[in-house]
Structure 1
Amino acid sequence: MLSALETEGQGNVTTNLPVQSLINAHPFSRYQRVIFVICFAIVLLDGFDTAAAGFLAVSLQHEWGITKQALAPVLSAALIGLSIGSLLAGPIADKYGRKIVIGISVGFFGFTCLLSAFVDSLDQLVFLRLLTGLGLGAALPNVVTLMSEFCPDKSRSFVTNALFCGFPLGAALGGFISAWMIPHWGWRSVLVAGGLFPIVLSIVVFALMPESVRFMAAAGRSSKKIAYILSKITSREVLESDFVVAAPVPHSITAGLSLILSRPYIIGTLMLWLSYFMGLMIFYSLINWMPILLKDTGIQPANASLISALFPLGGVGAIFFGWLMDRFNPNIVVATGYALTAVLLYVIGHVSDSGIYLMLFVFAGGIMMNMSQVSLAALAAAFYPTQARVTGISWMLGIGRFGGVAGSFLIADLMRRNFDFVGILSSLSLAGLIAAIALIVKQVSSRSTNKPG
C-alpha cells in the first residue's frame, strides 16, 4: 500500500493510491477542522429548525386561538418531512455527490423556514413545516457522511459523535433564543432567524466546503481535484494518481439501496434500522409525554417540566462514546449503552415519588439514551462502503423517524389502557433491550460475513 510520502517528490504518477491510507497517515489538519466547523454549524441549525415548532406552540395557540390537538400536525409535519428527506437524499447523494446535496438542502430548509414566518393560517404553516423537514432530512445524513469520510479511521467515531452533538445543542439554543426573541418581536422572528442563517450557510457550503475525496475517488472524478484537496489536508504536495477507495464494491452490486440490502449487508442494515427505530421511539415518547406522565404522578407542572428537560441534555456525552468506539468494539459499546438505558428507564418508573432520585435517574437515562442514539450514525458510517454510505445512513435516519411517530401513538395507547407511570416506563425499557439485542445480532452477522462491524 502506497503512503502519502511515497507520492511526493517523485517525477512520475503513482497508480492505485488508496485515499483513506493517505488521510490516515496524517494528523487532523487545519483544513479538516474548517470542514468540521462548517458541518457542525449545519447540524446546529438542523437541530434549531427541527425543534422550532415546539418553541412556538404556546404563542400559536394564544394568537390563533387553536386547541392543543390542532397543534399536533404542526409538531409532526417536520418529523414526517425528515423521514422522507432522509430516504430520498441518500441515493441522490451517492450518485451525484455529498456537497451539492448539502448545499441545496441547507438553502432549501432555510428558505422554507423563512417563508413560514409570513403564513396566516395553520394549514400553510403545516405545509411549510413539511417542506422544511424535507430539507432537514436531506442535510443531516450527508453532513455526517462527508465529515466521516474526511476523518482518519482511528478518530472517526469520536469526530462523528462530536459533530452530532450539534443537534441537541441547536435544539437547546433554540429554546433560549425563543425565550428572548418572542417577547420582543413575536414568534415569527424565530422563524426568520431560523431561515436566514441557513441561507447564508448554504453560500458558505458552495464556496468553502470540498466534495468528499472518497466519493470522488469511488466515482472516478478528476484526480487533479482529489490531489488538490489531499494536498490541503497533508500540507504537502500530493501528485496526481489513480486514486481508489480501500474497499471497492464488487461490479455485480450497484451503489445505493441495492447495496445496503445486498446479502453481505442486509442483516446489519436491518439491525441498524431496528435499533434506531427503537431508540427514537424512546426519545420522542419521553420528550413529548414525560411532563404529562410526571404530572399524573402528582408532581407539580413546573417541576415536571424541569425534570423532563433533564432528559435531552445528555447529547453532549456522545463524545465519550465516540472515544470508546474508537478503542473497543463499537457494536458492543453501543449495545451496552442501550441495555443500560433499559435498566435506567425501569428504575425511573419506580422512583417517581422521590424527587432527587427521580432527577438523578432521568438525567442519567438521558445521557445513556442520547449517547447510544447519536453513536448509531458513526456505527453506520463505519459499516457501509463509500459508494453507499449516504444511502445507508440516510435510510437508517429515515426509518428511525417513524419510530418517533410510533412512540407518540404507543404512549397514548398505553394511557388509554390505564397503564400507570411504572407500566409505561417498563414498556419503554423493552425497546432499549430490543435495540441492544439488534446490535449484538449485527456484530455476529458482520463477523460471519467478514464485513466491518
Structure 2
Amino acid sequence: MQTIDINRVIDRDKLSPLQWLVFLLGFLVFFCDGLDTGIIGFVAPSLLDDWGITKPQLAPVLSAALVGMSIGAIVSGPLADKFGRKKVIVTTTLIFAIFTVLCGFATSTQDLTIYRFITGIGLGAAMPNISTIVSEYMPNKRKAFLTGLAGCGFMLGISCGGVLSAFLLENLGWAKVIIIGGVIPVLLAVILMLKLPESTQYLVKKNQHQQARYILEKIQGQAFSENVQFKLATTENNLSDESPVKQVLGKYLWGSSMLWLCCFMSLLVFYLLTSWMPTILKTAGFTTQQFSLIAAIFPFGGVIGATVMGYYMDRTNPTNVIKYSYFIAFLLFILTGFVSSNILLFGISIFMIGALLAGAQSSLLPLSAMFYPSTCRAVGVSWMHGIGRVGAILGAFFGSLIFTFELSLSGIFYVLAIPTLISFIALSLKVMVEKSKSKQQIKSQELA
C-alpha cells in the first residue's frame, strides 16, 4: 500500500481550481466579517443623533460585539478540531449574518447590545477558522502571501462599510445600511454550505480517508491508485496523540504568549480607531463624508500593507516582517500627532498607519497558522484571536473615555503609540527565544 503525505499533494507550483475556490470563499468570509464588524462604527454618529443618546451610552453597543468575538474565537477552536472547520465556519457565518440584520430592527440600546453580542460570537468564530482552512489549502512557498491576501478581505470589508455609509447613510438611515450589511453574508453562508470543502488535514486526523481522497484527487486532477493511505507530516504525526490544548500550552507556550500579547495590544489600537474614529473626527469638526472616507482609508491601507507583508513573509523570517511594521507604525502615530491639523497630511498618515498597523494585524493570522502544526492549529489561531479580542474590548471602552479625558486629536495618537510599541517588543522577544532554541538544537546535533 502506498502512503502519501497530503501536504505533498497540496504543495503545488500552480494552484488547482479547488484551491482557488477555497481562497475566494475565504476572502469573501473575511470581507463579510469586516463589513459587519466595522459598520456599527460608521453608523454610530447617525445613531447618536437619531436616538438622542450620549457617547458613553453607546459604548456597550460598540463593545458588545467585541466581547462576543472573544468568546466565539476561544470556543470555536476546540469545536473546529472536534466537529470540523467547515461546520463551524458555515454555522457562525449564518449567526453573524442573521443577527446583523436584526440590529437594523433594534429599538433600544439594550436590544442592539444583545444583537451585537451574538453577532460578535459569530464574527469571532468565523475569522480564525477560515484563516486556518485557507492556510491548510495553500502551498508552502505562497502560504503567507495567499492566506494574508484572503485576510485582506476583512480590511476591505471595513472600508466598504465606510464607503457604504458615506453615500447611503444620509439618504437611507443607519438601520437600512446595517441590514444591507447583514443580507450579504446570509447569501454567502448558503454558498459555503454547498461549495467549501473540509480541511484534508482534519479529515486524515479523524481517519475520514475517503473524503480526504476525493478532495485530494480534485486538487491533483487525477485519481490515486486503488491502495493508497494518507498521512500528516512526520512532525505532526509525532504530536497527534496529544490534545490540541496541551500542545498550545506546552511546547508552543512561549510563542503563543507573545502572539497573544502582540494581538491584544494591536487589536486594542485597531478597534479603538475603527469603532470611534468617525465619532472622534466628527467631534474634531469633520463633515459626515470627510470622517467616513478618512475612517475608510485606515483599513484600506491595511489591504495594501497585508499584501506586501505576505509577499515578504514567504521570502524571509515572517515574524521579523510584522514586528518591524509595528515599530514603523509606532513612529507614524507620533508623527500623525504633529500633522493632525492638516487634513491632507493627516489623511496620508492615517493611510500609512493602516498599511502598517492594520496590515500587521491581518498578517498575524497567517503567522500563527504557520507557527502551529495542523494538529493544534485551529486552537492556536483561535485562542490568539480570542485573547487578542480582550484588547479590542478595552479599546472600545477606552474610546468612550477619550471624550471624558477631553484629549486632543494629537494626544489620542500619542497615547495609541504605546500599545503599538508593546506589540513590536512582544514579537522581538518571540524571535529572540526562537533563535536561542535554534542555536541550542544546532549545538546538540554537533555534539551528537
By the TM > 0.5 criterion, same fold? yes
- In the alignment, the residues of structure 2 paired with residue 139 and residue 384 of structure 1 have an alpha-carbon distance, to the nearest angstrom, of 18
Letter in 2 for 1:322: G
Residue of structure 2 equivalent to 1:217 = 204
Q: 2:176 aligns with which of 166, 189, 213?
A: 189
**Alignment match of 1:301 (pick from 286, 289, 295):** 286
Alpha-carbon distance in 2 for matches of 1:186, 1:310:
22
**More moved, 322-331 vs 23-32:** 23-32
Question: In structure 2, do the counterparts of structure 1 residues 450 and 101 end up closer, same or farther at CA, with 3 Å as the change threshold?
Answer: farther
3-state SS, counterpart of residue 138 of structure 2: coil
- Judged with a 3 Å threshold, the aligned counterparts in structure 2 of structure 1 residues 430 and 249 are, in CA distance, closer, same or farther, namely farther
| Match status 1:24 vs 2:14 | no
Distance of aligned partners of 1:49 and 1:217 in 2 relative to their CA distance in 1, 3 Å threshold? same
2:39 is the alignment partner of 1:52: yes
Percentage of identical aligned residues = 38
CA distance in 1, matches of 2:407, 2:103: 38
Task: Name the structure 1 match of 2:380.
Answer: 392
- Which residue matches 2:445? none
Q: What CA distance in whole angstroms lies between the structure 2 residues aligned with 1:266 and 1:252?
A: 17
**Pairing 1:62-211 to 2, within 5 Å after superposition:** 62-182=49-169, 185-211=172-198
Q: CA deviation at 1:413?
A: 5.9
Q: As a proportion of its length, which structure holds more helix?
A: 2
Deviations 1:21-44 (A, max 9, x none): 221144211111111111211111
2:42·2:165 contact (CA, 8 Å) conserved in 1?
yes
Shift in alpha-carbon separation, 1:78–1:23, aligned structure 2, 3 A = same
Bigger shift: residues 57-66 or 99-108: 57-66
Structure 2 CA distance for aligned equivalents of residues 341 and 35 of structure 1:
32
Aligned-partner Cα distance in 2 for 1:91–1:225: 21
- C-alpha change, 1:207 and 1:287, in structure 2 (3 Å) is closer
Report which stretch shifted further, 412-421 or 425-434.
412-421
| Stretches of structure 2 lacking an aligned partner (at least 5 in a row) | 440-448
Q: d(CA) in 1 for partners of 2:113 and 2:136?
A: 35
Alignment equivalent of 2:259, drawn from 263, 272, 290: 272
Q: Say yes or no: does 1:228 pair with 2:214.
A: yes
In structure 2, C-alpha distance between the alignment counterparts of 1:336 and 1:322, rounded to whole Å: 14
Aligned-partner Cα distance in 2 for 1:61–1:423: 24
The 2-side partners of 1:418 and 1:57 are apart by: 19
Match of 1:401 among 385, 389, 409: 389
Counterpart CA distance in 2 for 1:353 and 1:196 is 39
Aligned residues: 434
Question: Which of 340, 347, 355 matches 1:352?
Answer: 340
Give the Å deviation of 1:207.
1.2
CA contact (8 A) 2:163 2:296 kept: no
Query: One-letter code of the match for 2:428?
Result: I
Which of 433, 441, 446 is matched with 1:445 structurally?
Answer: 433
From 351, 368, 378, the counterpart of 1:363: 351
Contact 1:276 1:396 in 2 (8 A): yes
Determine helix, strand or coil for the equivalent of 2:236.
coil
Structure-2 change in CA distance of 1:56 and 1:202 (3 Å):
same
CA deviation after TM superposition for structure 1 residue 75, in Å: 1.6
Q: Deviations over 1:177-215 (max 9, x none)?
A: 345555555433334333333222222212111101111
SS where residue 242 of structure 2 aligns?
A: coil
- 1:428 maps to 416
Q: Distance in 2 between matches of 1:146 and 1:101?
A: 11
Query: What TM-score does the superposition give when structure 2 sets the normalisation length?
Result: 0.88
Cα distance change on mapping 1:253 and 1:343 into 2, 3 Å = farther
2:223 equivalent among 231, 237, 243: 237
The amino acid of 1:237's aligned partner reads A
- Output the CA distance in 1 between the equivalents of 2:104 and 2:405: 40
Q: Which residue of 1 aligns with 2:236?
A: 248
Find the aligned partners of 1:237 and 1:245 in 2 and give their Cα distance: 19
